Chain A
């Protein structure tokens, strides 16, 4: 994670290689420099980088079109190299997508800073998303266990801690998660 993988896409190969050098010298790994949008999409899907830095103007399509596809399917983070007019257009059009515009001419410091910020926030978001996912499935499990507990309490005249303990014990004895035990109880006893 400390050496993020990046794909650069710009039709001017000289410029592309200069960007690559700047990045490599600063501890970033550039997987590839592409010269067209279609190539960029193919490589992003295949090499799964963490970030795509792409120029707005491309010979086959625009960087914006590529950015939309990449961001919609959240394949990786995107930094789009734009001029002011393009930046305004992009920002008015995509609203909540994960694309950051960077105005040209770019210099070394702003490029590296932007990459740093984008990657940091993306990692943070990823982490939060995972937490939410975890919480969601916990909540889901809790609901199921509560329901099974209720059934046990009613059908077998158990107190709440007893019912809970029963599910827990069966789970521990059989090595099956409590959620699944609860599901079985609901399916068989309801």
Chain B
């Protein structure tokens, strides 16, 4: 993707007749926020003078300290291709700053930037390639999303064209127009489920890309009369949506995970990195799998990981090493789901890996058998532990993990845990449909 300067942005806005610019940032919970300004105000915004009320953003600040500033990152400038007229709309992704000119600790982008910088100081560039899955559902007569997929909707029988395929093709075209390099796009295992993979970039850019990707998918789905959701497990009994993240480190222009002399082709650094992730994965699950529903995906039989292990062959464990070697050597983390905040999720993954490298951790032996076929006894013998079983367990694990807590910073950590505990409490106390179905007539 191009690296625009401030002047480039000013020029493009003028040349392309852009009328509105959206200044985007992400809150702690991964929701994209934006302030729209007119082209006239652009210069002011690029001078970092665009102010907003931080107390209105969930998890940001209290009302006394609410003045915050947005600093647009010119390299993220993109014109939205789907509103050709009249007057185009562009966006800039921003960093959040306090009124005294210091970076805001609660800005997820800043959290990621800090870890990326730490990696750079150790000589590493962090590359990430995500595989985002999502569902396309039909909307009802009032425009509300349903969980009915286009695949099994009755009227699909009429036409030879798959609505979802069409929408996905449009999504890919729009993403390419916005500078994405699409590597693969296909229908997933479940009905109505799709996957689009785009090329890896450095960690920060990938996190930006994931946010943009979600926006594009939702927007284009809407233009096709469909609803796109990144909810991890919208339907019981079929596969959920994951966001496998392929990660690698580059040192001095070479893939630091590759070592041709090793029997798996992996370097010492790679083993340390894997060990770091395995060590901290319980503590970071609350970040990579952030909602109550996330844990309904992490159950056996639906291609999602449940047990903490790694393998170079098998697809069932938490970490898989894809077959490609050389410059493409990478590890694939399989637990994150697309409801996570990508900035925080990538930040904690990298921090865990770096912790492994710094402390020269050794991973346990890889598990080449299908773990889902083992019983609890054998798993115990192999030392295979489970991922947290629900959001509450995950929060408890997070509270125990000092490395992850330090990575998030006290601001994000405290606000995050507080909000997640409320979310869990609400879920726990509410009476669900399942209980009604099971007990109402029986007791």
On whether the beta carbons of B226 and A42 are closer than 8 Å, the reply is yes
In Å, the complex CA distance between A50 and B150 comes to 23
| A81-136 interface with B by 8 A CB criterion | 93-97
Q: List the A side residues contacting B225 at CB < 8 Å.
A: 37-42, 45
In Å, the complex CA distance between A35 and B225 comes to 13
On whether the beta carbons of A96 and B85 are closer than 8 Å, the reply is yes
Q: Is B161 located at the chain interface by the 8 A CB criterion?
A: yes
Partner of B163, one of A46, A59, A61: A46
In Å, the complex CA distance between A72 and B223 comes to 11
Q: How many residues of A contact B (CB 8 A)?
A: 23
Q: Count of A-B contacts with CB under 8 A?
A: 59
Nearest CB in chain A: distance from B384 CB, A: 46
Mostly, the B contact residues are loop
Q: Is A69 located at the chain interface by the 8 A CB criterion?
A: yes
Nearest CB in chain B: distance from A36 CB, A: 4
In Å, the complex CA distance between A70 and B138 comes to 18
In Å, the complex CA distance between A112 and B102 comes to 66
Q: List the B side residues contacting A96 at CB < 8 Å.
A: 85
Q: For chain B, which range describes its interface: under 10, 10 to 19, 20 to 34, or 35 or more residues?
A: 20 to 34
On whether the beta carbons of A35 and B159 are closer than 8 Å, the reply is no
Q: Is A60 located at the chain interface by the 8 A CB criterion?
A: yes
Taking CB as reference atom, which chain A residue is nearest B167? A45
| B213-267 interface with A by 8 A CB criterion | 223-226
Q: Is A176 located at the chain interface by the 8 A CB criterion?
A: no
On whether the beta carbons of A41 and B141 are closer than 8 Å, the reply is no
The listed residue with most B CB atoms (<10 A of its CB), out of A45, A61, A95, is: A45
| A35-63 interface with B by 8 A CB criterion | 35-43, 45-47, 59-61
On whether the beta carbons of B158 and A46 are closer than 8 Å, the reply is yes
In Å, the complex CA distance between A42 and B225 comes to 5
Q: List the A side residues contacting B158 at CB < 8 Å.
A: 46-47
On whether the beta carbons of A61 and B143 are closer than 8 Å, the reply is yes
On whether the beta carbons of A47 and B141 are closer than 8 Å, the reply is no
On whether the beta carbons of B141 and A72 are closer than 8 Å, the reply is no
Taking CB as reference atom, which chain B residue is nearest A66? B225
Contact with A along B154-181 (1 / 0, CB 8 A): 0100110101001000000000000000
**Chain A residues close to B by CB (< 8 Å):** 11, 35-43, 45-47, 59-61, 69, 72, 93-97
**Chain B residues close to A by CB (< 8 Å):** 84-86, 138-144, 150, 155, 158-159, 161, 163, 166, 223-226
